Amino acid sequence: MLNSLIHQSFKKAKKENRPVLLTYTVAGDNTKKKSLEILKSISKYADICELGFPHNTPIADGGQIQTSSYRAIRNGIKINDVFTIARKFKKEKKNKPIILMGYYNMIYQFNEDNFILKCKKSKVDGLIVVDLPYPENKVFALKCKKKGINFIQLIAPTTSRSRLKKIINDSHDMVYYISMLSTTGGKLKVSPKKIINEYQKIKKIKKSKNIVIGFGITQNTIGSLKKADGLVVGSAICKEITNSIKKRQNPVINVTNVVRKLKNKII
Amino acid sequence: MKLKKNIPLIDQHDRQGFWGGKFGGSFIPETLKKPIEDLTEEFHKLRKNREFIKKKNYYFKNYIGSPTPLIKLDNLSRHLGGAQIWAKVVSEANGGAHKIYNATIHALICKAMGKKYIVGDTGAGYAGKMLSMAAKKFGLKCKIFMGAKDIKRQKPNCDAIKKNGAKIIPVYSGSQTLVDAVSECMRYWVSNCDNTHMCVGSTVGPNIFVKICGYSTSQISKELKIQLIDEFNKIPNKLKLINCVGGGSSAYGFWSEFIDYNRNQVELIGVEAGGPKKSKLHAAPLSRNAKIGILHGAASYVCQSREGQIHETESISAGLDYPGVSPIHCFLKDTKRARYTYATDEDALEAYKLVTKFENLNPSLEPSHAFAEAIKIAPKLNNETILIVNSCGDAKKDRDILKERLGKF
């Protein structure tokens, strides 16, 4: 999938000597309309947009993303709306990659094949499934590849060396490295320096593989992690939406400001 | 889909961890892959280790108080007419419920793995209470995750948890019951798996937790088999084993030794929580035909929306108030080895009233669901039929609910 939009984003960023910025927002947070507006607006600064399809029993998400997910579900988001948001976004931003992210039960209920087909029709570029680990995800990942959709493998600090090699070798255009033992949005309990050290060890396995770091990245820490191929910010953005609602301010403007500042720290 | 003979049901899964090819598995975040692999390896080692088995038997006998009594409920049987009703009074175990078996085994595993911290979920508070007891006994630091709604309705058990020196972490997300407690506990483990062991309180969760819990509670049916032979000189020709089912740990424990028997001889009846009579909500995924879904790392029948959002459940009994169920019970349902039905809140309360009126027994609201089924079917059966109910919990924890609903305790 060397001509995929995801791959191209990394190529472009490398030329500019900076990491790729990935954002994560929850579809339907705080409304369907607003989440599409947020997505469009932040994509001015974000290189790749991750869009969460919310689940009400998330076993790997911290407080901020849980709050966003529950809010979106309460406001009526359905899985078909998630695809609509993605499709509308891609209609305007043809070259901006979008990755859907969520839990396997939603895909299972939709039916794996139908889900992938719907992704394809909505021009979704990639998929992250939090609770479908390697090697159980091999069949599903292959199905995605056949339809030109990137299945993004996750690796963690607990992943063994031999497993790392297998996962990286079987992966598509991008691998997601979980920075620390934590749910999403936890406070960085490891220094950025240590994270980068670990990261570089992993990179050595296959230098050409694009590996991004996520979990616990904020405006304070993003600058010191910019040696990575890409950096994901999720909870800090979800938190901004929550705060904007509390202060009765427009989340689109506030979130865009946050993403702009994040981008400025890594260029 | 077929059951195998002479192999414990907990071991009848395929390489990916599925029973019957579709129930169970390990749907877990990458971070937990390694800790779960380590735990799996350790458990398989310990199971075969003579020292560990000796230790287990020692604590089951001297700490838990095994075997728990099997008693005939003469008055209740006479009142209802028909089948003989017996009770396996598992609530006589140390702490007052079957949860002590799983808690003890997990504490022993935690020690063996050199971890100092142990965390667990709880609904009715028994899993939490027992884990806090076991943690205290074996010198482990313990945290218990519990839904805020359950903390209110099961106060006596919360007091016990605190007395044992464990910390209760209230969970305010979602429905504030067991389902949210399990999620939060898993999230905590994701963040702390390097030094902390997690105990899942029932035969649910990723494959290995189903196995450990089933291994622990199977003690109940091992005892029962010996007691039946003592009493009847053989396994009776018409035997029905009735058990409530939330996650399904006590039911599996009560049945495991009897699964190989012909179902005409030993019928296995699981009773789920039907919720309030007038409510649409329930916690009965098996008997009310929920779809298969993935919850807390395993595929099972789950109360959920068409899209896969987990439904809120409702039941008077916190211990059964869970939208999923053990994959091994799904397997027993689909192979038709066990029959599953449900009792409503009202049925359970009526059963509690009747049992306590005639017998010197105080079953909690969970086994009261099982008694409701026994009371329903006993009059239709002959005196040769032996009905045994697993009275797996004591009603002390339900003091406040019983006072409110029945005006007395």
Residue of B29, B193, B295 with shortest CB distance to A57? B295
- Boundaries of domain holding B379: 65-96+218-406
The verdict on B205 and B179 lying in the same domain is yes
Which CATH number belongs to the domain containing residue A253 in this structure?
3.20.20.70
Looking at the complex, report in whole angstroms how far the Cα of residue A96 sits from the nearest Cα belonging to chain B: 27
Q: What percent of chain B has pLDDT over 90?
A: 98
- Find chain B residues with C-beta within 8 A of A70's C-beta: 173-174
The mean of the pLDDT values for chain B is 97
Q: Summarize pLDDT for B47-66 with one digit per residue, the tens.
A: 999 999 999 999 999 999 99
Whole-angstrom distance, CA of residue B6 vs CA of residue B16: 21
Asked if A154 lies within 8 A of B296 by C-beta distance, the reply is no
**Per-residue model confidence (pLDDT) at position A186:** 86
- Alpha-carbon distance A195 to A168, whole Å? 18
Return the bridge partners of B242, or none.
Answer: B269, B389
Mean pLDDT of B299-326: 96
The two structure tokens encoding residue B118: 């142990």
Are B341 and B247 in the same domain?
Answer: yes
Question: Can you tell me the distance from the alpha carbon of B181 to that of B289, in angstroms, rounded to the nearest whole number?
Answer: 24
Nearest chain A CA: its distance from B33 CA (Å): 7
Q: Copy the structure tokens of residue B79.
A: 């009142």
Same domain, B50 and B126: yes
ipTM confidence:
0.96
Residues B318 and B336 in one domain: yes
Please determine, for residue A138, whether its predicted confidence score (pLDDT) is greater than 90: yes
Give the chain A residue whose CA is nearest to the CA of B294.
A105
Does some domain include residue B16?
no
Residues of B in contact with A186 (CB under 8 A): 191
B26 and A136 within 8 Å at the Cβ level: the answer is: yes
Residue A217 included in any domain: no
Per-residue pLDDT for B44 more than 80?
yes
Is B309 at the interface with chain A, CB within 8 A?
yes
Domains in chain B, number? 2
Q: Name the residue in chain B with its Cα closest to that of A215.
A: B191
With an 8 Å Cβ cutoff, are A104 and B35 in contact?
Answer: no
A61 contacts in chain B (CB < 8 Å): 187
Per-residue pLDDT tens over the stretch B94-140: 999 999 999 999 999 999 999 999 999 999 999 999 999 999 999 99
A16, A37, A47, A50: the catalytic one is A50
Distance from CA of B338 to the nearest CA of A (A): 26
pLDDT of residue B174: 84
Mean pLDDT, residues B300-322:
96
Chain B residues whose CB is inside 8 A of the A57 CB are: 174, 179, 183, 295-296, 310
Q: pTM of the full predicted structure?
A: 0.97
Q: Do B347 and B230 reside in the same domain of the chain?
A: yes
Tokens of A167: 């996962």
Q: Which domain, by its residues, includes A116? A: 5-153+226-266
pLDDT at B408: 72
Q: Which of B214, B247, B267 is the last residue of a domain?
A: B214
Pairing mode, strands A98-102 and A48-53: parallel
State the burial class of residue A112 (Cβ atoms within 10 Å of its Cβ: 0-12, 13-18, 19+). Answer: middle
Asked if A55's CB is within 8 angstroms of B193's CB, the reply is: no
Last residue of a domain, one of B162, B188, B214: B214
Q: Respond yes or no: is residue A50 known to be catalytic.
A: yes
B270/B121 same-domain check: no
Does the beta carbon of B35 lie under 8 angstroms from any beta carbon of chain A?
A: yes
Contact B307 A159 (CB under 8 A): no
Residue from A93, A63, A81, A77 nearest A30 by CA: A77
Taking each continuous run of H as one helix and of E as one strand, the counts in chain A are 11, 9
In this structure, the answer to whether residues B242 and B171 fall within a common structural domain is no
**Interface of chain A toward chain B, CB-CB under 8 angstroms:** 55-62, 66, 70, 73, 78-79, 103-106, 108-110, 130-134, 136, 154-160, 163, 178, 181-183, 186
Is residue A2 pLDDT above 70, yes or no?
no
Same-domain status, B124 and B195: yes
Residues of A with CB below 8 A from B185's CB? Answer: none
Longest dimension (CA), chain B: 57
